[in-house]
Chains A and B, each alone.
Chain A
Amino acid sequence: MIEDVITIIWKEIRELLLHRGRFRGGWTGLLFFAAIFGIFMPLQSGADWIKSPIGLLYWAWVPFLLVSGVVADSFAGERERHTLETLLASCLSDRAILFGKMAASILYGWGLTMTCVVLGLITTNIAYAKGHLLFYPAMIGIGIVVLSFLIATLSSALGVLVSLRASTVRQAQQTFSIAFFVLFIPLFLIPMLPETWRIKMLTVLSGININYQAILILVVTLLIILNIAIISIAMARFRRTRLIFV
Protein backbone atom coordinates (compact mmCIF):
# COMPACT_ATOMS: atom_id res chain seq x y z
CA MET A 1 0.00 0.00 0.00
CA ILE A 2 2.89 2.35 0.77
CA GLU A 3 3.96 2.22 -2.90
CA ASP A 4 0.42 3.18 -3.98
CA VAL A 5 0.27 6.03 -1.45
CA ILE A 6 3.58 7.34 -2.83
CA THR A 7 2.17 7.09 -6.37
CA ILE A 8 -0.83 9.23 -5.40
CA ILE A 9 1.46 11.73 -3.66
CA TRP A 10 3.64 11.86 -6.79
CA LYS A 11 0.65 12.77 -8.93
CA GLU A 12 -0.90 15.20 -6.44
CA ILE A 13 2.32 17.12 -5.87
CA ARG A 14 2.96 17.39 -9.61
CA GLU A 15 -0.57 18.72 -10.11
CA LEU A 16 -0.09 21.18 -7.24
CA LEU A 17 3.28 22.48 -8.32
CA LEU A 18 3.06 22.40 -12.08
CA HIS A 19 1.88 25.57 -13.69
CA ARG A 20 1.09 25.27 -17.39
CA GLY A 21 3.24 22.18 -17.56
CA ARG A 22 6.28 23.78 -15.90
CA PHE A 23 7.46 23.70 -12.33
CA ARG A 24 8.79 27.26 -12.50
CA GLY A 25 5.36 28.92 -12.38
CA GLY A 26 4.14 26.65 -9.58
CA TRP A 27 7.17 27.33 -7.43
CA THR A 28 6.79 31.13 -7.66
CA GLY A 29 3.84 31.23 -5.25
CA LEU A 30 5.58 28.93 -2.80
CA LEU A 31 8.79 30.97 -2.85
CA PHE A 32 6.76 34.12 -2.22
CA PHE A 33 5.08 32.43 0.76
CA ALA A 34 8.45 31.23 2.10
CA ALA A 35 9.92 34.71 1.68
CA ILE A 36 7.09 36.30 3.71
CA PHE A 37 6.99 33.72 6.51
CA GLY A 38 10.63 32.70 6.50
CA ILE A 39 12.42 36.02 5.92
CA PHE A 40 10.24 39.12 6.16
CA MET A 41 8.33 38.30 9.34
CA PRO A 42 11.37 36.99 11.31
CA LEU A 43 13.22 40.17 10.37
CA GLN A 44 10.30 42.23 11.70
CA SER A 45 9.98 40.24 14.93
CA GLY A 46 13.64 39.93 15.95
CA ALA A 47 14.90 37.19 18.29
CA ASP A 48 11.40 36.80 19.75
CA TRP A 49 10.51 35.04 16.52
CA ILE A 50 12.07 31.87 17.87
CA LYS A 51 11.90 32.43 21.63
CA SER A 52 8.28 33.39 22.23
CA PRO A 53 5.72 30.63 23.00
CA ILE A 54 3.27 32.65 20.91
CA GLY A 55 5.18 31.16 17.94
CA LEU A 56 3.43 27.87 18.70
CA LEU A 57 0.05 29.41 17.91
CA TYR A 58 1.47 31.00 14.83
CA TRP A 59 2.97 27.78 13.44
CA ALA A 60 -0.26 25.95 14.19
CA TRP A 61 -2.18 28.38 12.01
CA VAL A 62 0.19 28.32 9.00
CA PRO A 63 -0.21 24.60 8.08
CA PHE A 64 -3.97 24.90 8.53
CA LEU A 65 -3.99 27.78 6.07
CA LEU A 66 -1.84 25.89 3.55
CA VAL A 67 -3.62 22.53 3.76
CA SER A 68 -7.10 24.04 3.69
CA GLY A 69 -6.17 25.78 0.44
CA VAL A 70 -5.60 22.52 -1.40
CA VAL A 71 -7.45 19.72 0.36
CA ALA A 72 -10.98 20.62 -0.77
CA ASP A 73 -9.85 19.73 -4.28
CA SER A 74 -8.80 16.19 -3.34
CA PHE A 75 -11.97 14.34 -4.31
CA ALA A 76 -14.39 17.10 -5.29
CA GLY A 77 -11.85 18.43 -7.79
CA GLU A 78 -11.34 15.01 -9.35
CA ARG A 79 -15.10 14.60 -9.49
CA GLU A 80 -15.57 18.02 -11.05
CA ARG A 81 -12.86 17.40 -13.67
CA HIS A 82 -14.23 13.88 -14.40
CA THR A 83 -11.04 12.09 -13.41
CA LEU A 84 -12.38 10.40 -10.29
CA GLU A 85 -14.18 7.55 -12.02
CA THR A 86 -11.08 6.53 -13.97
CA LEU A 87 -9.03 6.66 -10.77
CA LEU A 88 -11.61 4.49 -8.99
CA ALA A 89 -11.62 2.06 -11.93
CA SER A 90 -7.90 1.44 -11.37
CA CYS A 91 -6.39 -1.25 -9.16
CA LEU A 92 -5.56 1.20 -6.36
CA SER A 93 -7.02 0.17 -3.02
CA ASP A 94 -9.52 2.39 -1.20
CA ARG A 95 -7.01 3.06 1.60
CA ALA A 96 -4.21 3.92 -0.83
CA ILE A 97 -6.38 6.53 -2.53
CA LEU A 98 -7.63 8.00 0.76
CA PHE A 99 -4.27 8.09 2.53
CA GLY A 100 -2.47 9.19 -0.63
CA LYS A 101 -4.76 12.20 -0.95
CA MET A 102 -4.33 13.05 2.73
CA ALA A 103 -0.59 12.52 2.73
CA ALA A 104 -0.13 14.76 -0.30
CA SER A 105 -1.89 17.71 1.32
CA ILE A 106 -0.08 17.14 4.64
CA LEU A 107 3.26 16.91 2.87
CA TYR A 108 2.49 20.16 1.06
CA GLY A 109 1.23 22.10 4.10
CA TRP A 110 3.55 20.72 6.76
CA GLY A 111 6.54 20.56 4.41
CA LEU A 112 6.19 24.20 3.49
CA THR A 113 5.66 25.12 7.17
CA MET A 114 8.86 23.32 8.16
CA THR A 115 10.70 25.04 5.32
CA CYS A 116 9.52 28.41 6.67
CA VAL A 117 10.48 27.42 10.23
CA VAL A 118 14.02 26.53 9.15
CA LEU A 119 14.28 29.58 6.92
CA GLY A 120 13.05 31.77 9.81
CA LEU A 121 15.71 30.28 12.10
CA ILE A 122 18.43 31.00 9.55
CA THR A 123 17.15 34.55 8.98
CA THR A 124 16.99 35.27 12.73
CA ASN A 125 20.52 33.94 13.23
CA ILE A 126 21.90 35.99 10.37
CA ALA A 127 20.18 39.17 11.54
CA TYR A 128 20.21 38.89 15.34
CA ALA A 129 22.69 36.19 16.48
CA LYS A 130 25.40 38.59 17.77
CA GLY A 131 28.14 35.98 17.90
CA HIS A 132 26.23 33.02 19.34
CA LEU A 133 23.78 30.65 17.67
CA LEU A 134 20.11 31.20 18.39
CA PHE A 135 17.84 28.18 18.53
CA TYR A 136 14.28 27.36 19.49
CA PRO A 137 13.89 26.41 23.15
CA ALA A 138 13.35 22.61 23.25
CA MET A 139 9.67 22.81 24.25
CA ILE A 140 8.86 25.35 21.53
CA GLY A 141 10.93 23.57 18.86
CA ILE A 142 9.33 20.17 19.47
CA GLY A 143 5.96 21.85 19.92
CA ILE A 144 6.19 23.55 16.54
CA VAL A 145 7.10 20.32 14.73
CA VAL A 146 4.45 18.20 16.45
CA LEU A 147 1.68 20.77 16.64
CA SER A 148 2.03 21.90 13.02
CA PHE A 149 2.01 18.27 11.88
CA LEU A 150 -1.12 17.47 13.89
CA ILE A 151 -2.91 20.60 12.70
CA ALA A 152 -1.95 19.80 9.08
CA THR A 153 -3.30 16.27 9.60
CA LEU A 154 -6.51 17.58 11.17
CA SER A 155 -7.05 20.05 8.36
CA SER A 156 -6.31 17.35 5.78
CA ALA A 157 -8.54 14.69 7.37
CA LEU A 158 -11.43 17.11 7.76
CA GLY A 159 -10.95 18.45 4.22
CA VAL A 160 -10.82 14.98 2.69
CA LEU A 161 -13.90 13.92 4.66
CA VAL A 162 -15.82 16.90 3.32
CA SER A 163 -14.42 16.56 -0.21
CA LEU A 164 -15.42 12.88 -0.40
CA ARG A 165 -19.08 13.75 -0.71
CA ALA A 166 -18.99 17.22 -2.25
CA SER A 167 -20.01 17.55 -5.87
CA THR A 168 -17.84 20.60 -6.55
CA VAL A 169 -14.70 22.16 -5.11
CA ARG A 170 -16.66 25.27 -4.16
CA GLN A 171 -19.16 23.20 -2.19
CA ALA A 172 -16.30 21.36 -0.47
CA GLN A 173 -14.62 24.66 0.49
CA GLN A 174 -17.86 26.07 1.91
CA THR A 175 -18.62 22.95 3.92
CA PHE A 176 -15.02 22.75 5.11
CA SER A 177 -15.11 26.32 6.43
CA ILE A 178 -18.33 25.61 8.30
CA ALA A 179 -16.98 22.34 9.69
CA PHE A 180 -13.86 24.03 11.02
CA PHE A 181 -15.95 26.84 12.45
CA VAL A 182 -18.04 24.26 14.32
CA LEU A 183 -14.87 22.88 15.94
CA PHE A 184 -14.11 26.30 17.38
CA ILE A 185 -17.63 27.23 18.41
CA PRO A 186 -16.75 26.99 22.15
CA LEU A 187 -14.24 29.85 21.71
CA PHE A 188 -16.84 32.02 19.97
CA LEU A 189 -19.32 31.37 22.77
CA ILE A 190 -17.12 32.90 25.48
CA PRO A 191 -18.16 36.52 24.77
CA MET A 192 -21.81 35.42 25.04
CA LEU A 193 -21.42 34.15 28.58
CA PRO A 194 -22.85 36.32 31.43
CA GLU A 195 -20.35 38.93 32.63
CA THR A 196 -20.15 37.45 36.14
CA TRP A 197 -19.15 34.07 34.63
CA ARG A 198 -16.48 35.67 32.45
CA ILE A 199 -15.02 37.58 35.43
CA LYS A 200 -14.98 34.36 37.42
CA MET A 201 -13.22 32.53 34.58
CA LEU A 202 -10.59 35.27 34.23
CA THR A 203 -9.95 35.23 37.98
CA VAL A 204 -9.47 31.48 37.94
CA LEU A 205 -7.22 31.63 34.87
CA SER A 206 -5.09 34.49 36.23
CA GLY A 207 -4.58 32.51 39.43
CA ILE A 208 -3.20 29.55 37.52
CA ASN A 209 0.52 29.29 37.12
CA ILE A 210 0.62 28.58 33.39
CA ASN A 211 2.52 25.45 32.62
CA TYR A 212 3.07 25.68 28.86
CA GLN A 213 4.41 22.16 28.69
CA ALA A 214 1.27 20.71 30.27
CA ILE A 215 -0.94 22.77 27.95
CA LEU A 216 1.05 21.59 24.93
CA ILE A 217 0.73 17.95 25.99
CA LEU A 218 -2.99 18.42 26.52
CA VAL A 219 -3.47 20.08 23.12
CA VAL A 220 -1.37 17.44 21.36
CA THR A 221 -3.36 14.65 23.03
CA LEU A 222 -6.67 16.27 22.05
CA LEU A 223 -5.47 16.72 18.47
CA ILE A 224 -4.34 13.08 18.24
CA ILE A 225 -7.76 11.91 19.46
CA LEU A 226 -9.56 14.28 17.07
CA ASN A 227 -7.37 13.16 14.16
CA ILE A 228 -7.95 9.47 14.85
CA ALA A 229 -11.70 10.08 15.08
CA ILE A 230 -11.92 12.06 11.83
CA ILE A 231 -9.63 9.70 9.88
CA SER A 232 -11.75 6.75 11.08
CA ILE A 233 -14.92 8.47 9.88
CA ALA A 234 -13.28 9.25 6.51
CA MET A 235 -12.22 5.59 6.16
CA ALA A 236 -15.74 4.43 6.95
CA ARG A 237 -17.27 6.87 4.48
CA PHE A 238 -14.87 5.99 1.65
CA ARG A 239 -16.99 3.53 -0.30
CA ARG A 240 -15.97 3.21 -3.92
CA THR A 241 -19.50 2.30 -4.99
CA ARG A 242 -20.89 5.51 -3.51
CA LEU A 243 -18.33 7.99 -4.74
CA ILE A 244 -19.27 8.52 -8.38
CA PHE A 245 -22.64 10.09 -7.63
CA VAL A 246 -23.02 12.42 -4.65
Chain B
Amino acid sequence: MIFQNAITTKDLTRQFQTVQAVDNLTLEVPPGIVFGFLGPNGSGKTTTIRLLLGLLEPTRGQATVLGYNTATQSDQIRKNCGALLEHHGLYERLSAEDNLEFYGRVWHMPPSERKVRIKELLVHLDLWDRRKEIVGTWSHGMKQKLAFARALLHRPVLVFLDEPTAGLDPIAAAALREDLAAMAEREGLTVFLTTHNLAEAEKLCQQVAVIRQGKLLAIGSPESLRLQGGKPRLEIRGSLFSQALLSELRARSEIAGITQSDHQLVIELTKVTDVSPLVNLIVRSGAQVEEVIKTKASLEDVFLTLMEEEK
Protein backbone atom coordinates (compact mmCIF):
# COMPACT_ATOMS: atom_id res chain seq x y z
CA MET B 1 0.00 0.00 0.00
CA ILE B 2 1.27 3.47 -0.89
CA PHE B 3 1.05 6.08 1.83
CA GLN B 4 2.40 9.56 2.31
CA ASN B 5 2.53 9.48 6.08
CA ALA B 6 3.07 6.46 8.30
CA ILE B 7 0.46 7.87 10.68
CA THR B 8 -2.17 10.55 10.14
CA THR B 9 -4.76 11.52 12.70
CA LYS B 10 -7.52 14.08 12.35
CA ASP B 11 -9.44 15.34 15.38
CA LEU B 12 -8.87 11.97 17.03
CA THR B 13 -10.73 11.95 20.33
CA ARG B 14 -11.32 9.34 22.99
CA GLN B 15 -13.42 9.96 26.04
CA PHE B 16 -13.66 7.70 29.09
CA GLN B 17 -16.79 8.77 30.95
CA THR B 18 -15.81 12.26 32.12
CA VAL B 19 -12.14 12.09 31.14
CA GLN B 20 -11.03 13.23 27.71
CA ALA B 21 -7.99 10.96 27.27
CA VAL B 22 -7.25 12.11 23.72
CA ASP B 23 -8.63 15.47 22.64
CA ASN B 24 -8.89 16.40 18.95
CA LEU B 25 -5.45 15.08 18.14
CA THR B 26 -4.31 15.99 14.65
CA LEU B 27 -0.82 14.98 13.59
CA GLU B 28 1.21 13.48 10.78
CA VAL B 29 4.15 11.12 11.18
CA PRO B 30 6.34 10.77 8.08
CA PRO B 31 7.68 7.30 7.28
CA GLY B 32 11.19 6.17 8.18
CA ILE B 33 11.73 8.33 11.26
CA VAL B 34 11.77 7.88 15.01
CA PHE B 35 8.83 9.97 16.20
CA GLY B 36 8.73 10.89 19.88
CA PHE B 37 5.36 11.33 21.54
CA LEU B 38 6.10 13.18 24.76
CA GLY B 39 3.89 13.88 27.70
CA PRO B 40 3.59 13.46 31.45
CA ASN B 41 1.91 10.42 33.01
CA GLY B 42 -1.78 10.24 32.12
CA SER B 43 -1.46 12.60 29.19
CA GLY B 44 -3.02 10.18 26.68
CA LYS B 45 0.07 8.62 25.10
CA THR B 46 -0.92 4.99 25.71
CA THR B 47 -4.53 5.64 24.70
CA THR B 48 -3.30 7.13 21.43
CA ILE B 49 -1.29 3.97 20.68
CA ARG B 50 -4.32 1.82 21.49
CA LEU B 51 -6.45 3.91 19.14
CA LEU B 52 -3.85 3.66 16.37
CA LEU B 53 -3.64 -0.12 16.73
CA GLY B 54 -7.43 -0.48 16.68
CA LEU B 55 -7.54 -1.77 20.25
CA LEU B 56 -9.88 1.05 21.24
CA GLU B 57 -12.58 2.80 19.25
CA PRO B 58 -12.32 6.58 18.99
CA THR B 59 -15.20 8.65 20.33
CA ARG B 60 -14.72 10.98 17.32
CA GLY B 61 -12.23 11.74 14.61
CA GLN B 62 -10.24 9.37 12.49
CA ALA B 63 -6.79 7.99 11.93
CA THR B 64 -4.90 6.12 9.27
CA VAL B 65 -1.83 4.00 9.93
CA LEU B 66 0.27 2.94 6.93
CA GLY B 67 -2.64 4.11 4.80
CA TYR B 68 -5.16 1.87 6.58
CA ASN B 69 -8.14 3.27 8.42
CA THR B 70 -8.06 2.35 12.11
CA ALA B 71 -11.83 1.97 12.27
CA THR B 72 -12.27 -0.38 9.34
CA GLN B 73 -8.86 -1.91 8.56
CA SER B 74 -7.31 -2.43 11.97
CA ASP B 75 -6.43 -6.05 11.13
CA GLN B 76 -4.22 -4.79 8.28
CA ILE B 77 -2.58 -2.31 10.64
CA ARG B 78 -1.80 -5.00 13.19
CA LYS B 79 -0.45 -7.22 10.41
CA ASN B 80 2.13 -4.61 9.43
CA CYS B 81 3.03 -3.15 12.81
CA GLY B 82 4.97 -4.31 15.83
CA ALA B 83 4.31 -3.17 19.37
CA LEU B 84 5.94 -3.01 22.75
CA LEU B 85 3.07 -1.74 24.83
CA GLU B 86 2.73 -0.39 28.35
CA HIS B 87 3.53 -3.87 29.76
CA HIS B 88 6.09 -6.12 28.12
CA GLY B 89 3.42 -8.76 27.50
CA LEU B 90 5.79 -11.72 27.67
CA TYR B 91 4.66 -15.17 28.79
CA GLU B 92 6.70 -15.55 31.93
CA ARG B 93 6.18 -19.31 32.22
CA LEU B 94 7.73 -19.82 28.80
CA SER B 95 11.35 -19.51 27.76
CA ALA B 96 12.63 -16.53 25.79
CA GLU B 97 12.91 -18.71 22.71
CA ASP B 98 9.35 -20.01 23.11
CA ASN B 99 8.02 -16.46 23.46
CA LEU B 100 9.59 -15.51 20.13
CA GLU B 101 8.67 -18.85 18.57
CA PHE B 102 5.03 -18.27 19.49
CA TYR B 103 4.90 -14.79 17.98
CA GLY B 104 6.86 -16.00 14.95
CA ARG B 105 4.07 -18.53 14.37
CA VAL B 106 1.46 -15.84 15.00
CA TRP B 107 2.98 -13.73 12.19
CA HIS B 108 3.07 -16.80 9.90
CA MET B 109 6.83 -16.74 9.51
CA PRO B 110 8.11 -19.92 7.85
CA PRO B 111 10.02 -22.16 10.32
CA SER B 112 13.43 -21.64 8.70
CA GLU B 113 13.03 -17.85 8.58
CA ARG B 114 11.72 -17.86 12.14
CA LYS B 115 14.77 -19.72 13.37
CA VAL B 116 17.24 -17.41 11.64
CA ARG B 117 15.43 -14.25 12.73
CA ILE B 118 15.12 -15.35 16.37
CA LYS B 119 18.83 -16.09 16.48
CA GLU B 120 19.69 -12.80 14.77
CA LEU B 121 17.67 -10.74 17.25
CA LEU B 122 18.74 -12.60 20.37
CA VAL B 123 22.40 -12.46 19.38
CA HIS B 124 22.13 -8.75 18.59
CA LEU B 125 20.48 -8.04 21.94
CA ASP B 126 22.96 -10.26 23.80
CA LEU B 127 20.27 -12.71 24.96
CA TRP B 128 21.17 -15.75 22.87
CA ASP B 129 22.98 -17.64 25.63
CA ARG B 130 19.96 -17.31 27.90
CA ARG B 131 17.30 -18.21 25.36
CA LYS B 132 16.27 -21.45 27.14
CA GLU B 133 15.64 -19.75 30.47
CA ILE B 134 12.07 -18.98 31.49
CA VAL B 135 11.35 -15.29 31.22
CA GLY B 136 9.86 -15.04 34.72
CA THR B 137 13.33 -15.29 36.24
CA TRP B 138 14.76 -12.41 34.19
CA SER B 139 15.41 -8.81 35.19
CA HIS B 140 13.09 -6.06 33.97
CA GLY B 141 15.76 -4.81 31.57
CA MET B 142 16.18 -8.22 29.93
CA LYS B 143 12.43 -8.61 29.61
CA GLN B 144 12.16 -5.22 27.90
CA LYS B 145 14.92 -6.23 25.47
CA LEU B 146 13.11 -9.47 24.67
CA ALA B 147 9.81 -7.64 24.22
CA PHE B 148 11.61 -5.26 21.88
CA ALA B 149 12.91 -8.25 19.91
CA ARG B 150 9.37 -9.63 19.75
CA ALA B 151 8.09 -6.31 18.39
CA LEU B 152 10.67 -6.45 15.57
CA LEU B 153 10.48 -10.18 14.91
CA HIS B 154 8.28 -10.10 11.79
CA ARG B 155 10.14 -7.13 10.28
CA PRO B 156 7.26 -4.67 10.68
CA VAL B 157 7.13 -1.40 8.77
CA LEU B 158 6.10 0.55 11.85
CA VAL B 159 6.77 -0.13 15.52
CA PHE B 160 4.94 1.34 18.49
CA LEU B 161 7.08 1.55 21.61
CA ASP B 162 5.26 2.68 24.74
CA GLU B 163 7.84 3.97 27.22
CA PRO B 164 10.31 1.16 26.49
CA THR B 165 12.90 2.35 29.01
CA ALA B 166 10.47 3.09 31.86
CA GLY B 167 11.56 1.43 35.08
CA LEU B 168 15.02 0.53 33.78
CA ASP B 169 18.22 1.56 35.54
CA PRO B 170 20.32 4.16 33.64
CA ILE B 171 22.72 1.55 32.25
CA ALA B 172 19.98 -0.78 31.01
CA ALA B 173 18.04 2.20 29.61
CA ALA B 174 21.09 3.47 27.73
CA ALA B 175 21.75 -0.02 26.35
CA LEU B 176 18.16 -0.40 25.15
CA ARG B 177 18.26 3.09 23.60
CA GLU B 178 21.42 2.15 21.72
CA ASP B 179 19.84 -1.07 20.48
CA LEU B 180 16.71 0.79 19.47
CA ALA B 181 18.64 3.39 17.49
CA ALA B 182 20.80 0.76 15.80
CA MET B 183 17.87 -1.48 14.89
CA ALA B 184 15.71 1.39 13.65
CA GLU B 185 18.49 2.53 11.36
CA ARG B 186 19.45 -0.95 10.20
CA GLU B 187 15.89 -2.04 9.44
CA GLY B 188 14.63 1.30 8.08
CA LEU B 189 11.74 1.35 10.55
CA THR B 190 9.27 4.02 11.42
CA VAL B 191 9.16 4.16 15.21
CA PHE B 192 6.37 5.77 17.23
CA LEU B 193 7.98 6.17 20.63
CA THR B 194 6.13 7.46 23.67
CA THR B 195 8.24 8.64 26.55
CA HIS B 196 8.46 11.16 29.31
CA ASN B 197 12.23 10.91 29.22
CA LEU B 198 13.19 14.04 27.31
CA ALA B 199 16.88 13.23 27.01
CA GLU B 200 15.84 9.96 25.39
CA ALA B 201 13.61 11.77 22.92
CA GLU B 202 16.35 14.27 22.16
CA LYS B 203 18.83 11.49 21.40
CA LEU B 204 16.57 9.24 19.36
CA CYS B 205 13.86 11.25 17.65
CA GLN B 206 13.88 13.16 14.41
CA GLN B 207 10.48 14.62 15.26
CA VAL B 208 8.60 15.03 18.50
CA ALA B 209 5.12 15.96 19.58
CA VAL B 210 4.22 17.17 23.06
CA ILE B 211 0.85 16.18 24.50
CA ARG B 212 -0.85 17.10 27.75
CA GLN B 213 -4.30 16.05 28.93
CA GLY B 214 -4.90 14.59 25.48
CA LYS B 215 -4.18 17.84 23.67
CA LEU B 216 -1.32 18.37 21.25
CA LEU B 217 0.79 21.30 22.46
CA ALA B 218 3.66 21.31 19.99
CA ILE B 219 5.12 19.31 17.13
CA GLY B 220 8.36 19.53 15.18
CA SER B 221 11.99 18.51 15.23
CA PRO B 222 13.70 18.74 18.65
CA GLU B 223 15.87 21.52 17.23
CA SER B 224 12.92 23.58 16.02
CA LEU B 225 11.12 23.12 19.33
CA ARG B 226 14.21 24.23 21.20
CA LEU B 227 14.37 27.33 19.04
CA GLN B 228 10.68 28.03 19.56
CA GLY B 229 10.59 27.40 23.20
CA GLY B 230 13.76 28.75 24.77
CA LYS B 231 16.23 31.59 24.30
CA PRO B 232 19.95 30.93 23.78
CA ARG B 233 22.19 31.84 26.70
CA LEU B 234 25.79 32.80 27.34
CA GLU B 235 27.32 31.67 30.60
CA ILE B 236 30.53 33.44 31.57
CA ARG B 237 32.56 32.19 34.52
CA GLY B 238 35.06 34.60 36.01
CA SER B 239 35.24 37.71 38.23
CA LEU B 240 35.45 41.52 38.29
CA PHE B 241 32.20 42.12 36.39
CA SER B 242 31.72 45.87 36.96
CA GLN B 243 28.41 47.74 37.22
CA ALA B 244 29.41 49.83 34.20
CA LEU B 245 29.86 46.65 32.16
CA LEU B 246 26.48 45.31 33.26
CA SER B 247 24.75 48.57 32.34
CA GLU B 248 26.41 48.58 28.94
CA LEU B 249 25.39 45.00 28.30
CA ARG B 250 21.78 45.61 29.36
CA ALA B 251 21.55 48.42 26.85
CA ARG B 252 22.34 46.14 23.90
CA SER B 253 19.45 44.98 21.74
CA GLU B 254 20.58 41.35 21.42
CA ILE B 255 20.48 40.89 25.19
CA ALA B 256 17.20 40.00 26.86
CA GLY B 257 18.42 39.84 30.43
CA ILE B 258 21.40 39.36 32.73
CA THR B 259 21.76 37.59 36.02
CA GLN B 260 24.91 37.74 38.10
CA SER B 261 26.04 35.41 40.83
CA ASP B 262 29.39 35.12 42.68
CA HIS B 263 31.60 34.05 39.83
CA GLN B 264 29.17 33.78 36.99
CA LEU B 265 27.34 36.01 34.58
CA VAL B 266 24.39 34.54 32.69
CA ILE B 267 23.34 36.52 29.64
CA GLU B 268 20.03 35.60 28.02
CA LEU B 269 20.08 36.42 24.34
CA THR B 270 17.09 37.50 22.29
CA LYS B 271 18.18 35.38 19.30
CA VAL B 272 20.93 33.08 18.07
CA THR B 273 23.77 35.47 17.30
CA ASP B 274 27.53 35.77 17.02
CA VAL B 275 28.66 36.35 20.60
CA SER B 276 32.31 37.29 19.97
CA PRO B 277 31.63 41.08 20.17
CA LEU B 278 30.04 40.56 23.58
CA VAL B 279 32.99 38.48 24.82
CA ASN B 280 35.41 41.17 23.54
CA LEU B 281 33.47 43.86 25.35
CA ILE B 282 33.55 41.93 28.62
CA VAL B 283 37.31 41.26 28.36
CA ARG B 284 38.05 44.90 27.49
CA SER B 285 36.10 46.07 30.56
CA GLY B 286 38.76 44.41 32.75
CA ALA B 287 36.76 41.36 33.81
CA GLN B 288 38.74 38.18 34.47
CA VAL B 289 37.14 35.58 32.17
CA GLU B 290 37.85 31.92 32.87
CA GLU B 291 35.26 30.19 30.72
CA VAL B 292 32.56 31.08 28.19
CA ILE B 293 29.75 28.63 27.44
CA LYS B 294 27.09 29.23 24.81
CA THR B 295 23.98 27.15 25.58
CA LYS B 296 20.64 26.52 23.94
CA ALA B 297 17.38 25.69 25.69
CA SER B 298 17.11 21.92 26.10
CA LEU B 299 14.05 19.96 25.09
CA GLU B 300 13.38 19.66 28.79
CA ASP B 301 13.22 23.47 29.10
CA VAL B 302 10.80 23.59 26.19
CA PHE B 303 8.71 20.78 27.66
CA LEU B 304 8.53 22.44 31.07
CA THR B 305 7.64 25.77 29.49
CA LEU B 306 4.83 24.12 27.50
CA MET B 307 3.53 22.39 30.61
CA GLU B 308 3.59 25.68 32.54
CA GLU B 309 1.82 27.57 29.76
CA GLU B 310 -0.90 24.97 29.61
CA LYS B 311 -1.57 25.19 33.36
Contact = CB atoms under 8 A, between A and B. Distances in A.
Nearest to B83: A89
A88 B75 CA distance: 10
Contact of A91 (B78, B95, B132): B78
B54 A240 contact: yes
A83 B56 contact: no
Given A3-B108, A10-B105, A82-B89, A88 B55 contact: yes
A140 to B, nearest CB: 38
Nearest to A26: B93
Nearest to A4: B106
Interface in B129-177: 132-134, 147, 150
Q: Which of A4, A10, A88 has the most CB of B within 10 A?
A: A88
A21 interface: yes
Contacts of A240: 54-55, 74
A4 B79 CA distance: 13
Interface string B104-116: 0111100000000
B101 to A, nearest CB: 9
Contact of B107 (A18, A85, A91): A91
B300 interface: no
Contacts of A200: none
A244 B78 CA distance: 16
Contacts of A89: 53, 55, 78, 81, 83, 85
Contact of A83 (B53, B79, B83, B91): B91
Nearest to B85: A85
A90 B103 contact: yes
B75 A91 contact: yes
A11 interface: yes
Chain A interface size band reads: 20 to 34
B179 interface: no
A85 B102 CA distance: 15
B86 interface: yes
A237 interface: no
B186 interface: no
Interface string B65-83: 0000000001100110101
A241 interface: yes
Contacts of A83: 87, 89-91
A102 B79 CA distance: 23
Contact of A7 (B79, B86, B89, B102): B102
B91 A15 contact: yes
A34 to B, nearest CB: 22
Contacts of A11: 91, 94, 98, 102
Contacts of A15: 91, 93-94
Contacts of A244: 50, 55-56
Contact of B95 (A21, A81, A90, A241): A21
A23 to B, nearest CB: 12
A241 B77 CA distance: 14
A93 B75 contact: yes
B254 interface: no
Contact of A85 (B55, B79, B106): B55
B57 interface: yes
Q: Which of A3, A10, A91 has the most CB of B within 10 A?
A: A91
B126 interface: no
A3 B109 CA distance: 12
A15 B134 CA distance: 11
Contacts of B107: 90-91
Given A7-B102, A90-B107, A85 B87 contact: yes
Given A85-B55, A90-B107, A18 B94 contact: yes
Contact of A90 (B93, B106, B147): B106
Nearest to B82: A89
A92 interface: yes
A241 B90 contact: no
A4 B102 CA distance: 10
A137 to B, nearest CB: 42
A3 B54 CA distance: 23
Contacts of B88: 82, 86
A130 interface: no
A87 B102 CA distance: 11
A132 interface: no
Contacts of A92: 106
A133 to B, nearest CB: 43
A4 B95 CA distance: 20
Contacts of A93: 75
28 contacts: A3-B108, A10-B102, A10-B105, A11-B98, A14-B98, A18-B94, A21-B134, A81-B91, A81-B92, A82-B86, A82-B87, A82-B89, A83-B91, A85-B85, A85-B87, A86-B83, A86-B85, A86-B87, A90-B78, A90-B103, A90-B106, A91-B79, A91-B107, A92-B106, A93-B75, A240-B54, A241-B56, A244-B56
- The 3 A-B pairs of least Cβ separation, nearest first, read A86-B89, A82-B87, A21-B134
